[in-house]
Amino acid sequence: MTTLTVRDLTATFTGPAGPVRAVDGVSFEIGDGEIIGLVGESGSGKSVTLRSLLRMLRPPGTVSGSVVWNGVDLLALPEAKLRAVRGGEIAMIFQEPMTALNPVLTVFQQIDETLATHTDLSKAARKARAVDLLDLVGIPAATERLDHYPHEFSGGMRQRVMIAIALAGEPRLLLADEPTTALDVTIQDQILKLIVDLRDRLGMSVILVTHDLGVVAQTCSRVAVMYAGRIVESGSVASLFAEPHHPYTRGLLGSVPRPGQERQLLLSIDGTPPSLADMPQGCAFHPRCSFKTEICMAERPPLASIAPGRLVACFHHEAVAAAGLSR
């Protein structure tokens, strides 16, 4: 069953040089209990996509398109009703807990804000629920730690606190924005396993934003690759990792060492992502692409179906697939 349907989501910021599209016509769906990944380099529009779903952009940012949740378009919902959805039905784990958490409020006060807004529990019941939430995310001595401040926790524990706050409203959809950024690999693995375990236990869906393809392989069933504000390829993790059809996806996958294979030079993607204020004509990736032809520099390729469940925006996707991941 489809939980969320996003169609032509566009986020625009207006500056001195005119409007800039940080998210450009993004469409996808997510079903009950599913984990999908959004991947791409920094600046590709992943985090802005998550914030746009809940209309968390403020002027000069504007959002258009449709985000249908339980038959209701969140982009058309009055602000007062949307507040009941934010943190309640849909919750978000922000990218950096040390800046997302309030340094002058205790952990309990920050969990209690969500509980007071989205539940009818008494103060005593909310405190008991906060202890349960900290236990759920694996924080030891939860009762004693309720009155601690964010700086008294390690990076991994702060991330767990962020997850506890997100779960306080018992959401059906969790938006996880780089939940393992700046954590060492041991803590990263613990956080990812925790998210998957909570998905299994609570039945919620997860949209996971990351630039780490290893994280996607470990946790997601489907993945969408973003570049310059657009989805350029999407499909199941197994099919996309086995045979990428977009040169950008090929470059991302080819830059990751693969165990069990002969040693060989890794692929690299030349150049840097384009400025959103000065996008190239045609395909946004063509200045960095070794498969480009004249049509790529003149026309923007549509995101089209190439197989059941597989979408790609590339005029030469067959040649890209045939090239594989070797140099």
Residue 97: how many other CB atoms lie within 10 Å = 24
Q: String of b and e for 118-156 (b: at least 16 CB within 10 Å)?
A: beeeeeeebbebbbebbebbbbeebeebbebebeebeeb
Q: pTM, whole model, 2 decimals?
A: 0.92
pLDDT tops 80 at residue 1: no
Give the pLDDT of residue 261: 62
What digits encode the pLDDT tens for the residues 9-50?
999 999 887 899 999 999 999 999 999 999 999 889 999 999
Structure tokens, 319: 């040649």
- Bridge partners (DSSP) of residue 234 are 224, 311
pLDDT tops 80 at residue 327: no
More confident site: 254 or 302: 302
pLDDT tops 80 at residue 266: no
Give the pLDDT of residue 32: 92
pLDDT tops 90 at residue 98: no
pLDDT tops 80 at residue 265: no
Among 295, 26, 324, smallest CA distance to 314 is for 295
What digits encode the pLDDT tens for the residues 196-232?
988 888 889 999 999 888 889 989 999 999 999 999 9
Residue 305 burial (C-beta neighbours within 10 Å; 0-12, 13-18, 19+)? exposed
Q: Which domains does the chain have, with CATH numbers?
A: 2-220 (3.40.50.300), 247-323 (no CATH)
Amino acid at position 288, single letter: R
φ/ψ (deg, to 5) at 233: -160, 145
Give the pLDDT of residue 54: 95
Give the pLDDT of residue 152: 95
Average pLDDT, the chain: 91
What digits encode the pLDDT tens for the residues 138-187?
899 999 999 999 999 998 899 899 999 999 998 999 999 988 776 778 87
Give the pLDDT of residue 259: 64
Mean pLDDT for 89-117 is: 93
Give the pLDDT of residue 286: 96
